[in-house]
Structure 1
């Protein structure tokens, strides 16, 4: 059940969790925590009656979501007036193998956000967004990079969407069976799933003396990616944009 003492998104027909209500949450903290632990999302929209779903890099600032794409994108050409959109993120946390096919499942965290997607057309806003497209994940990295040139700036579009409403859904139940099934001689288990960072592979054409910088400190071999992303977010934005 949502915590009414915390800032929450309004519950409407489009975001209300329909099945297993106890797994649903609408408070900003829960939704944002799931979003900030990811760097890829899927954005769904309808153009001329045809549904599309696009995977893309995204990031959050307060209750605004941003993502980028090519200026030639079909979707981005249709955003001048604000296109209704749904952005989703999902984390697979465990495989659940039960004693019946019906109770096989997964543990997961997911968020679904609704709003109207609009192109960022103000040049200063767009330039800041393109900076944060890097710095949100790798804090302060842009300051040490070659500046974006005019052609790159023109070729890249940025989309912003104010979250009008959203919901999170979390399953952490593990194995759940019919009571009589526990007496069956059938193996069952929960297998945790993590996306873990591997060993860095430096560019073979690095100039002599160029070292890995502090902007990558969150990304250490063996660390879970979602933990690194949350740490990088906190460093990039502090507490200001977390709610």
Structure 2
């Protein structure tokens, strides 16, 4: 489970899959993990959140892409990655303290410490926001690392092969055009954008 937690803690985007009237749906969502619970949030009008009153089986995928693997033949091209698939039943979070804790965790998962740097959420905003929790019932981590694995006879060919690394990098913050004069970039954002 440690590998699953490590991938979830490093990733920033989850793809949440569920069935809606027999049709498969996949939604990209931000998330946070608190122990063996994943929390996601969104507007109450979203169809996913409308289905939660009865409990909804979901599959959640988080993938971190580490590089393109380029082989000597097109057949042996691949990708280095770390991924986790989670199955569980989504439930509506109705306890106000759990909802608050989840919203703090989701905000801080994107930029640690950011929740404390923002104004307090209004009752109207809280009422318009739905939080769901998914207990990690089953999880499977999958990864690939390393060079291409070409056919033995292809290693003598004059074709380049190797890895093209892919990293997630944060750019320099861009001030909102309506930011008051003298407001500096928040510490959480400075820390985020200074990561190597």
TM-score normalised by the chain length of structure 2: 0.92
SS in structure 2 at match of 1:130: helix
Q: Any stretches of 5+ residues in structure 2 without a counterpart?
A: none
CA distance in 1, matches of 2:43, 2:103: 13
| Alignment counterpart, residue 133 of structure 1, candidates 106, 109, 127 | 106
Offset of residue 209 of structure 1: 3.0
Distance in structure 2 (CA, Å) of the matches to 1:178 and 1:144: 55
Which structure 1 segments of 5+ residues have no match?
A: 1-27, 225-243
Correspondence 1:1-243 to 2 at 5 A: 28-221=1-194, 223=195
The structure with the largest strand share of the pair is: 2
Task: Quote the offset at 1:217 in angstroms.
Answer: 4.2
Change (3 A) 1:143 1:93: closer
Which whole-Å CA distance do the structure 2 matches of 1:46 and 1:145 have between them? 35
Would the alpha carbon gap of residues 188 and 138 (structure 1) be closer, same or farther in structure 2, given more than 3 Å must change? closer
| Cα displacement (A) at 1:123 | 2.1
Instruction: Tell me how far 1:188 sits from its aligned partner.
Output: 1.7
1:128 deviates by: 2.3
Distance 1:65 1:182 in 2: 45
Structure 1 residues 209-218 or 35-44, which shifts more?
A: 209-218
- Count of residues paired in the alignment: 196
SS of residue paired to 1:219: helix
Question: CA 1:177–1:210 in 2, change beyond 3 Å: closer, same or farther?
Answer: same
Please tell me the root mean square deviation across aligned C-alpha atoms, in Å: 1.6
Deviations 1:90-148 (A, max 9, x none): 11111111111211111111110111001111222212222222133333332332221
